[in-house]
Structure formats: C-alpha cells, structure tokens
Structure 1
Amino acid sequence: MTIKQSLMSILILTIGSLLMAYSVNADEETSFYVMPVLPQNQLPSTSEYFHLQTDQDINQQIEVMIINDSDEDKTFHLSVLDGMTTDLGDISYDTQHEYDKSQKIKLSQQIDVEELHTIKAKESGNVELQLAVAVGDFSGQLLGAINVYEQTKGNDNPTGVVNQFAYNIPIKIDVKTSQITAKLVYDGLKVTNNGTKSELTAGFINPTSTIIRDLSLTYKLSTKQDKKLIVEQHNNKLEVAPNSNFHPSILIGSKALKAGKYRIEILAVSEISGINETWQEDFTITGRESRALNEGLIVEQTGVPWYILASLIVIGIVILGYGYKRHRGKRML
C-alpha cells in the first residue's frame, strides 16, 4: 500500500468513526421527547413553552407530556429550575448559580412536582405540576424551566445532568409588566479564576424583573498613564434574565498585562430594552494578578512560528530521503 493510499484509509476511518459517534448521540438524544400541554390561559404568542400572564395570585396545574420512543421502559427525573444568565450572555436555567439579591420570587420554590415518573416503551404520559405563586406587590417577569432527563443508575442530580441529554421547557409568567423599566448596573472589574485559568471579568447586574434583550457591550481597555489601547472587544446580541447577574470575560488574547494602572471604558446598548449606559473605571493589576493572567500565555509572533518551521524541515528531509532512495534504486537496476 502506498503512502497516499494509507493516508486516504486513515481519513476514511476517521470520518466513519465521527459519523458513527454522531449517529449514536443522535439516537440517544431522540429516544424521548417532552412537550408542554398548554393551559387555557396560555398566551397565543408561542406554543413551544409556557407563557402566562396575571395580575393576581396563581394557583393552577400545568402539565408536560413525555413521549418514550424507545423499546424499553424508562424512568424520568423532573425538577424546576430558575432563569439565570450565563457569563456568555445567554439565558439558561439552573438552581446552583449565584442568585442576585434582587430576585424575590424563585419559580423553583413555587412549583411542586413528583420527581420520578416511569413511561412504558413506545408510550407517552402526562405529568402534572402544581404552580402556586403569591405575587403580592410584585410586578415583572418570572422565568424558569421544567427540566426532564432520563434517570439512570447512580445519577440523581436534581438540577440537571452533566454530559446527559435533557429537556428544558421554559416557563415565563408576566405579572403587571407594564410598570417595568429595564436597567443594567455595572458591578466592577475583577481578576477571577474559573478553575483552569485566571481571567479579567466585568460584573453586570439586571436588578429589574424583566428580560434585557439584544444587548451589546463594548469594552476598551487601555493603560491609564499613556492611554495606549490594549483591547477593544464587542459582545453583541446578549440576553439577560430578570434579576440576574453575569460576568463576561475581557479577552486579552496574546497581549500580556503587566502590573500597573489601567482604565476600562464600557458602553452598554439595547434599543429594544431602552438601555444606553456608559461606565469608566480605573483599576490596578498587581504583580501577582499579572503573573496569574499571563500564565501559559502564547506571545503574539510576527514571523513564522517555530513549530511550522520544524514541520517543514522534517517534511523536506523525508522528501529528500525518499527521492534519494528512489534515485539510488534506479542506478542499482
């Protein structure tokens, strides 16, 4: 077998393995389905999740339908999660995140559901949840989700499963929302560690009980003394859950941050939510923080990287050796 044929065989085997892995994952993910059973007071804006509106206390049942499309009986775990904002600026659902102190009502504490339900093979079943919310003087949007995943041996995490397919059916309840004006608060810049590396993060809070939509954040990081621009970053189309906080990273890339004084300017704009805010902060990077931020940094290179040069040299040697061997073989014949 020639070198070319060997490389083609390896490529075909690799692609085949990836396709098989995708097929297995797809089968696992589509072995069951979950759908909301829409109540009579469902708003007509959507049929994909629960969207209710009220100006008084709520006490009613809502249902989800679980369809078991597999050839065996399955047991499913149900729980209720609260709306939150990821550090990437997306709305998600969890109960293990840092809650903002402005969040007065948590749907995870307002909805009762029996955790485990078994659905027979090739059948479906409805699961009832009891929704009871005393709204009082609250006005705004309540956001949460019904989380459903297959219960497996040794896996009983009620807040969602890592590396296991799950459904989140959102619940959105509008309570006297005409009185709400969106607001975004800047909560300062910090050097944080996410468990694997240190990052420069900006803190933001949505203290209002309404979703901030299509938010754009622009950051300009510069040295304080000579005002040299180090990083300009644009984050667009962000979504912020009601009464939540998030901490996006300022990506410094291959630029090392030395210990010293810096300035950051931030512009936040959302035309949909009526937000147009600017903030400016002077801050200091200590020597310890500088070493943590720059640890493992790949410095920006102007020339050809050494590993590419080394690869080219090795390839050149192989080609020359192969050519010399063929030439010598012809002479011997």
Structure 2
Amino acid sequence: MQRGLKILFAMFVALLVWGTHLTNAAASSVGYTVKAELPADQLSKQVSYFDLRTQPGQEQQLKVVISNTSNTTQRFAVSVNQAVTNDNGVIDYSQSDPKLDPSLTVGMKDIFTQAADQHVTVPANAQKTVVLTLKMPATKLRGTLLGGVYVAQLQGKTAKPTAPISIKNAFAYAIGVELREGALVQPNLVLHQVKATQINRRNFITANLQNPEPGLMSGLKVNAQVMKAGQSQLKPLIQQQQSKMGMAPNSNFNFAIPWGNKTLPAGQYVLHLTAQAGKQNWQFTRNFTIANKTVKRLNKTVVTPTKQPNHWLYLVLGLIIALLLAIIGYLIYRNHQQKNSVQ
C-alpha cells in the first residue's frame, strides 16, 4: 500500500514539473514584449495604456518600445486600430480595417498619420522605439475616442522585404489608446435588426445591439427570450443570458441566441430583451418574421446537432452488470463453501 502511494506521488510530481516546464516554454516562445512609454500628460500613471486628455488641434507623439528577447531578428506589424465590439461582447483592438459604426464621426485612423501603420525590424536581443504621431481635429471631441496600438509578429525573411508576409495568429500585443477632451459621456443601448442567421453552420437568432454614444460600457448583462407571437406568457422557445460583456464607444455587435435543438419553423415571433450595465437598464420588445425561404436556406448548410447521450440508459446497464457480477460472485462463493463442507 505504501509503495503504491509513493508511486502515485512520484507520478504527480513528474506531471507537475512537466506542466510547469510547458508553461515556461510557452511563455518564452513568444520572444518579444511591448511597452508604452507613457508621456508627461498621462492622466493616470497607474495604468499601462495611453490615457490622455487632449485639446482641439493638438499634435503629439506617442512612443511604444518593442523588445526582442529572442536570439533571432524579428519583424513586426504595428498599426493603430479603432476599438470595436466583437460578437462575443468583447472590446476588440485587433482589427485593422473593421466595419465602423455609423455613429462614429471621428476615428483613430482620422487622427493618426499614415505612418502609424508600419513594419518594424528589431535585431536579436535588442529593442526599438516606434513613434506614432496624432493630430486632433480642430473641432472639440465629444466623449471618449478609444483605440489601440496593435503589434504582431510577421513571418518572412528580413532579407526579402518585398516577399509576401503574414501576421502570426499565435500572439500579439495591444496597448489601449483612450483620448478625451471634455466630460465623460454615458453609453446607451439601442436594439436594431433581429433575424435568423447562421454562425459556423449553426443556426441562431441575432439581435444587433448598438452603443451610439462616445462612452465606454462595461459590465453589460443581457437576457434575451424568443417566443411565438401572441403567446408571450408561455415558456420561451429559446433564450440566452450573458454577462461581463463590454462595448466600445460608438460600436455595435450581434448578440446571438442559439437555435439549438429546438425546432423554430417559419412564422411570427417576438424577442424580449433586457440589458443592464452599472445603474443603467434597458428593455426591448421586437416582433420579427422568419420566412420559409430563410428556414430552407439555413437547413441546407446547418450542422445536424449530435444526440445527447442517454445517461439513464447507461445507469441502468451499469446496475444490471453490477447485479450480474454480484450473482456470479455469490455463486462462486457458495460453490466454494459446498466443496469445503464435503471435504
């Protein structure tokens, strides 16, 4: 018994050491770090991103330091991107050319020069400072303008700068850029189009939610229910609840309600959606239609849902097997006892 415990303990220690080694190897394989050189007019010294109060017409340089901690020369793509909200309800700085919300009048691409998007080569075990220049519009900016400096590794040889290159998807750094010239503005929530659609060959009802104000939204919680029109008091056909989401200023995203294994045929439906962020609350009710041609089109490409395992069947089979083993064990024991009594 003690020998078995020692073996198990040795295996646990070996797995722990192996897991630690893998974690350290993964961390070191990135091979570079990125850091913002915070300017003197930084509003908060407690954060690692650019948090600035600017003036109309102001021109300023922002500096980002890229440190190559590997033993080989590396190339990087540096861009200043507009902050948008992806369909997971997460503020996203990684998109270089996103579809911008119609409510956005001044974006990051409007105030940073074209030189902000550049390729940078950093020698092995060295660092390089990238300088980005912004110029604010002459008209005072309302609320918050949010974006990010996005730095990603490039594949390709330095000796052939004209050769095709691509950004590695494994790892990238994003440093936030938050600019404002006046008071903070409260975010808002507006419900737009509700429709049946398909994501990764799975059917969903999506509700487009927009924050049309230049205000940052955090801690967003959404609860959505889809019911048959005229039967709002019944149990919802499908529903989805999600929390801890956020929205960038002047952005929108599609809140997805899984169709799942439910049969949702063509017809008239109603969406009830409630949302909360901080002390703000919203309630929406929207009637929508799913057309016959929409259902037929989606059903042609949808992935057939896999059947859930019947746990009760497995439980019954397990009990039957256990009972049979008990009976067999009893019979063997009784036979052994009878032989002993004969002797």
1:129 to 127, 132, 143: 132
Partner of 1:214: 219
Residues 53-72 of structure 1: matches in 2 within 5 Å?
A: 53-72=53-72
CA distance in 2, matches of 1:200, 1:114: 37
Q: What is the CA distance between 1:220 and its match in structure 2?
A: 1.8
Once the two structures are superposed, residues 73-106 of structure 1 have per-residue CA deviations (whole angstroms, 9 ceiling, x without a partner) of: 2222211111000111110112332211111112
| Aligned residues of 2:155 and 2:168 also touching (Cα < 8 A) | no
Structure of higher CA gyration radius? 2
Aligned residue type for 1:117: V
Once the two structures are superposed, residues 94-120 of structure 1 have per-residue CA deviations (whole angstroms, 9 ceiling, x without a partner) of: 233221111111213422336122222
Partner of 1:282: 287
Establish whether residue 200 from structure 1 lines up as the match of residue 237 from structure 2. no
Aligned residue type for 1:208: E
Aligned residue type for 1:296: T
CA distance in 1, matches of 2:147, 2:131: 16
Establish whether residue 232 from structure 1 lines up as the match of residue 239 from structure 2. yes
Partner of 1:42: 42
Q: What is the CA distance between 1:253 and its match in structure 2?
A: 3.0
Note the residue ranges of structure 2 that are not aligned, 5 or more in a row: 1-7, 9-13, 157-162, 326-343
TM-aligned CA distance change 1:100 to 1:152, over 3 Å: same
Aligned residue type for 1:173: L
Establish whether residue 242 from structure 1 lines up as the match of residue 249 from structure 2. yes
TM-score, normalised relative to structure 1: 0.78
TM-aligned CA distance change 1:299 to 1:286, over 3 Å: farther
TM-aligned CA distance change 1:253 to 1:195, over 3 Å: closer
Partner of 1:172: 178
Q: What is the CA distance between 1:135 and its match in structure 2?
A: 4.9
CA distance in 2, matches of 1:155, 1:15: 42
TM-score, normalised relative to structure 2: 0.76
Aligned residue type for 2:241: H
Partner of 1:268: 275
Aligned residue type for 1:148: V
Once the two structures are superposed, residues 234-281 of structure 1 have per-residue CA deviations (whole angstroms, 9 ceiling, x without a partner) of: 211211001111001112333221232221111122225xx3221111
CA distance in 1, matches of 2:117, 2:312: 59
1:119 to 114, 117, 122: 122
Aligned residue type for 1:56: P
Aligned residue type for 2:71: D
Q: What is the CA distance between 1:213 and its match in structure 2?
A: 1.7
TM-aligned CA distance change 1:46 to 1:289, over 3 Å: farther
Partner of 1:189: 194
Superposition CA RMSD, Å? 3.9
Note the residue ranges of structure 1 that are not aligned, 5 or more in a row: 1-7, 320-333
| Aligned residues of 1:267 and 1:277 also touching (Cα < 8 A) | yes
CA distance in 2, matches of 1:77, 1:295: 37
TM-aligned CA distance change 1:52 to 1:119, over 3 Å: same
TM-aligned CA distance change 1:202 to 1:300, over 3 Å: farther
CA distance in 2, matches of 1:78, 1:91: 19
CA distance in 1, matches of 2:292, 2:17: 50
Aligned residue type for 1:175: E
Q: Secondary structure at the match of 1:25?
A: helix
Partner of 1:151: 154
CA distance in 2, matches of 1:114, 1:297: 44
TM-aligned CA distance change 1:101 to 1:280, over 3 Å: same
Establish whether residue 297 from structure 1 lines up as the match of residue 328 from structure 2. no
Q: What is the CA distance between 1:155 and its match in structure 2?
A: 6.0
Partner of 1:51: 51
| Aligned residues of 1:255 and 1:299 also touching (Cα < 8 A) | no
TM-aligned CA distance change 1:114 to 1:253, over 3 Å: closer
Aligned residue type for 1:32: Y
TM-aligned CA distance change 1:198 to 1:252, over 3 Å: closer
TM-aligned CA distance change 1:45 to 1:248, over 3 Å: farther
> How many residues are aligned here?
313
Partner of 2:80: 80
